[in-house]
Each structure stands twice: as structure tokens, then as C-alpha cells.
Amino acid sequence: MLSILIPVYNTSVFELVSSISKMAEALTIAYEIIVIDDASTASETLDANEFLYELKNCSYIKSKSNKGRTATSELLATTAAYEFLLFLDADILPASPQFLKNIIDNHKQASVIFGGIQYEKTPPEPQKMLRYIYGIKREDRSFETRRKQPHLSITPAALFIKKDLYLSLKIPVHNSYGLDILLTYRLKQKEVPILHIENPVIHFGIEDSEAYLQKTYEGLQTLAHLEEQNLISETYRPIQRIARRMQKSGLSRGYLKLFERVLKKAEKNLCSPRPSLKLFDSYRLYYFLKIKQDNA
């Protein structure tokens, strides 16, 4: 019935897999857990995940080279034995012991189910505040908010989807950050209904601010590339619509010159214990416009 798929890179999944395994056993459903390690480099992580070899209904595969999350997810899906897939990121935990039951209880209602993402109430270290605040303010969305923008409010961090549907999306398997947007876009293109339920996971994998800024830049490069290749609409995301208006009105060059003057101060704020999300939005817009200008 259900294939639970977990891509892993330098993360211990002992707590996640142990809890999910117990939930599945309690439901007495046909299930499998497949974990693919994407060539982790941390020996302590590899050691911690050795328990997977002994776990019931679990397959543990180690890739010889780092292929990236999208390629690993594709391999997980093609390896899966069952018609329903549940993708789980390695750095999350279900918020409720009824997490799996809530999905199974609703699985006949839709081909895609998403239950939301939450973050811990206790803030992390000061050097991780940007990712934490962004998660709290922009990703931790209520059930009502998610229903208003059903496709833009999902993420593969904890996504239930039918196997044949997922494979039909044909997501490119390039090793680049930010390809999740293509999955949501193609689901919207196909007019696939998204069932949003109240069934969140808690995201624990908080990068430090410098690493998150680098990931943000890589994600903007991917977004610009997808747009240039006509793989997504140039008006799909709010940042694309703003950039398009600025380019058409001739304001983009002036904005780039102006923000260039404060770029270092902006980065200092974003890496501080009290980063500004409004400034982060301006920072992202600057780099998106710059990438598009450089690629023109």
C-alpha cells in the first residue's frame, strides 16, 4: 500500500524512522520504508544510521556519489513497491503520534495530501535566526492559509502522492537547489487537487544564516533557469511578478545600483540575531534581478 521514502544526507534518521515504523506497525498496513543516503560525508551520521539494515520492512541504500535531492527522490520513487508514496525529509519529525493514521484515513480523497510544517517554539542559536524566522513567518502556515494557495503551500518535506502521478511529473534530476518549485508548478498545470489537512511535521534542520544565504542564491539561480527554459511561468512566484514589472518599467537597473551600495550592510543584518524579513525580500529581489541581467 504505502512506500515511505526518505532521502538522507549527513543526517541521523533514528528518531524519525523509529517513530514512523511504530506508527505503520500499529496500523497493520502493507508498507515499506526506503532510505537512500546521498553519499554522506559525516562518519557519525553513517554510523548512526546503521540500525536501518536491521529494521523490519526497511531498505537502506547508500549512493556512491552525491546526486542531489531531486535525483535521490526520483530513485526512491522508482524503487518503491507500492502505489502510494510518502516523502519525508530526514530533518523532520511528525508533530503527532497519529501522523500516519491521519494520512491513511484521508488517502482515498486525493492523489496529493499535505499536512503543514511547524517549527520549534524555542529559537535556535543566534547564527541560525534567519532560517528560523523565515520558517516561522513564511512556511508555518495555518490550514486556512494553505487552502487559499494549495499548490504554493506544499513541500516535499512531508508529501503524500500517488506513485504514477509523481513519476508523470518528470522532474529534471539535475543536482541543483530549488527544484521543488517545479513539482508544485507541474501539479498546478495538471490541475491536480491538493488535499490540505491539519497534520504537521516539525522541521529541525536549521542552517546557519551564511549557509542559508548561499542556498537562497542557488535557489534563485534555479528559478531563473527554469523561467528561461520555459519550464515555469514567469509570473508563478511573487518575486517573478515583481521582477517582471520592474524590468518592464525600467526600474530594475536603478534598483540594482541602489541595493549594491547597501549589500554588505544587508548581509550583516541578515546574519545577525535579529534579521529583517523585509530586508531579506529586498536582498532576494536584488539577486534575482542581477541573475536575470547577467543571463540576458
Mean pLDDT of 49-72: 95
> What residues does 174 pair with on adjacent strands?
none
Q: Is 234 exposed, middle or buried (0-12, 13-18, 19+ CB in 10 A)?
A: middle
Give yes or no for a contact between 204 and 93, defined as CB atoms under 8 angstroms apart. Answer: yes
pLDDT of residue 106: 97
Mean pLDDT of 166-175: 86
Mean pLDDT of 84-98: 98
Query: Which residues, including other chains, have CB under 8 Å from residue 186's CB and lie 6 or more apart?
Result: 169, 170, 171
**Third-level CATH fold of 2-206:** Spore Coat Polysaccharide Biosynthesis Protein SpsA; Chain A (3.90.550)
Mean pLDDT of 184-207: 96
pLDDT at 188 > cutoff 90: yes
DSSP H stretches of helix in the chain: 14-27, 43-48, 69-79, 99-106, 129-134, 143-148, 163-168, 180-189, 209-228, 238-249, 252-270, 277-295
CA–CA dist 288, 280 (Å, integer):
12
Long-range contacts, 139-142 (Cβ 8 Å, 24+): 139/203, 140/116, 141/116, 141/117, 142/116
Percentage of the chain modeled with pLDDT above 90 = 95
pLDDT at 28 > cutoff 90: no
Query: At 174, is the pLDDT very low, low, confident or very high (cuts 50, 70, 90)?
Result: confident
Give yes or no for a contact between 192 and 113, defined as CB atoms under 8 angstroms apart. Answer: no
Mean pLDDT of 186-190: 96
pLDDT at 170 > cutoff 80: yes
pLDDT at 220 > cutoff 80: yes
Mean pLDDT of 227-253: 96
Q: Are strands 92-94 and 31-37 parallel, antiparallel or unpaired?
A: unpaired
Mean pLDDT of 234-250: 96
pLDDT of residue 197: 97
Mean pLDDT of 100-124: 97
Q: Lay out the sheet containing 31-37: strands in order across.
A: 58-62, 31-37, 2-8, 84-88, 158-162, 112-114, 194-196
> What residues does 159 pair with on adjacent strands?
87, 114
Query: At 296, is the pLDDT very low, low, confident or very high (cuts 50, 70, 90)?
Result: confident
Mean pLDDT of 109-122: 97
pLDDT of residue 178: 85
Percentage of the chain modeled with pLDDT above 70 = 100
pLDDT of residue 171: 87
Q: Is 269 exposed, middle or buried (0-12, 13-18, 19+ CB in 10 A)?
A: middle
Query: At 19, is the pLDDT very low, low, confident or very high (cuts 50, 70, 90)?
Result: very high
> pTM (2 decimals)?
0.95
Q: Where are the domains of the chain?
A: 2-206, 210-295
